[in-house]
Amino acid sequence: MTLPKVLTIAGSDSGGGAGIQADLKTFQELDTYGLSVITAITAQNTVGVQAVHPVSLNGLNDQLESVFTDIKVDAVKTGMLVSADYIQSISTYIRDYNVNKLVIDPVLGSTSGSELTKNEAIDELKNSLWPLATVVTPNLIEAARMLGWASINTVSEMEKAVYQLHEWGAKSILLKGGHLPGGESVDLLYDGHTLTHFPMKRIDQPHTHGTGCTLASAIAAGLAKGNSIHDAVSMAKDFVTCAIREGFSIGEGSGPLNHSAYRHRQ
Ligand SMILES: Nc1ncnc2c1ncn2[C@@H]1O[C@H](COP(=O)(O)OP(=O)(O)OP(=O)(O)O)[C@@H](O)[C@H]1O
Ligand SMILES: Cc1ncc(COP(=O)(O)O)c(N)n1
């Protein structure tokens, strides 16, 4: 018996809702084998990020070397990438080991406002890692920041943005509409040929910490299992929607999703 192997390269969230912890829970729920390379340790809870401790560049490279020299991973998902030199290193391994299923969640900051990837790293992300991606999954704030726009507030602005982001060389872009004003959360997938809308009635739920990490990890798991980009995204949307519906409180602030909700769905 064997399982598809999915690697997350991301930060640790001590509160367990986002980052590496959300990624590994998602991989497990989707019957894949999860591996992790940790870029940073965040001291974090439901209220916010209290501290960020990046692992050393040597520490990052040692983990990448250990995984890639021994294990043939089927897909990789990236999250918090810290800084330009970390992104350079990660891109080299992705290229040298011919990873052809790569999901980039371009995490720039936490919802609570802490910087998780340095602003100066955006150019490196665009130039070295982005062109290797199967899917990149920015939210509206990340997309606007990377494009140098003030904001993205409507579906027609989202359409313009997704076309422009696709020009940077990724196979496809999934622009997430979780932060769209109004009663719908629409995500747009563009693969260079077809634009697909994934509309979803907004779930009235304060406990949504880690939705972006969970969605990107579910896409990576779907790709690792051999699904097309469209089918992997569609399954991942169902996965995250079930998990958001059953989000729950564990502290004073925004709680996590229930990663087992998809498994228990009717
Ligand atoms: N309240 C909601 N109801 C339904 N779907 C939602 C809701 N909030 C987010 N989503 C969905 O969850 C996924 C993540 O979207 P979002 O835009 O929130 O990403 P993000 O900002 O990166 O997530 P995070 O909250 O982890 O930072 C998308 O598929 C989005 O449509
Ligand atoms: C380690 C880590 N990675 C990613 C996020 C983004 O998740 P969110 O936007 O839900 O705070 C986070 N808070 N922490």
Any idea what the Cα angle at residue 18 is, between residues 187 and 181, rounded to 5°?
35
pLDDT in tens, 118-139: 888 999 999 999 999 999 999 9
Q: If you measure from the C-alpha of residue 70 to the centroid of ligand 1, how many angstroms do you get, rounded to a whole number?
A: 35
Question: What are the residues whose beta carbons fall under 8 Å from the beta carbon of 87, sequence distance 6 or more?
Answer: 81, 121, 124, 125, 128, 129
Domains detected in the chain = 5-265 (3.40.1190.20)
Question: What are the residues whose beta carbons fall under 8 Å from the beta carbon of 225, sequence distance 6 or more?
Answer: 4, 30, 31, 32
Predicted complex: ipTM over 0.95: yes
Residues 11 and 80: beta-carbon distance below 8 Å: yes
| Mean pLDDT of the residues in the chain | 96
pLDDT computed for residue 74 by the predictor: 98
pLDDT in tens, 85-109: 999 999 999 999 999 999 999 999 8
Q: Is 140 in the pocket of ligand 2 (CB under 6 A)?
A: no
pLDDT in tens, 194-205: 999 999 999 999
Q: Which of 188, 36, 208 is nearest to 112 (CA)?
A: 208
CA 54 to mean position of chain CA atoms: 18
Ligand 1: nearest atom to the Cα of 140: 17
> For this structure, is 34 an active site residue?
no
Percent of the chain topping pLDDT 70: 100
Q: Is 80 in the pocket of ligand 2 (CB under 6 A)?
A: yes
Q: How many CA atoms lie within 13 A of 179 on its CB side?
A: 16
Average pLDDT rounded to a whole number, residues 168-183: 96
Burial class of residue 157 in the structure, from the number of CB atoms within 10 Å of its CB (0-12 exposed, 13-18 middle, 19+ buried): middle
Ligand 1: nearest atom to the Cα of 18: 26
> For this structure, is 212 an active site residue?
yes
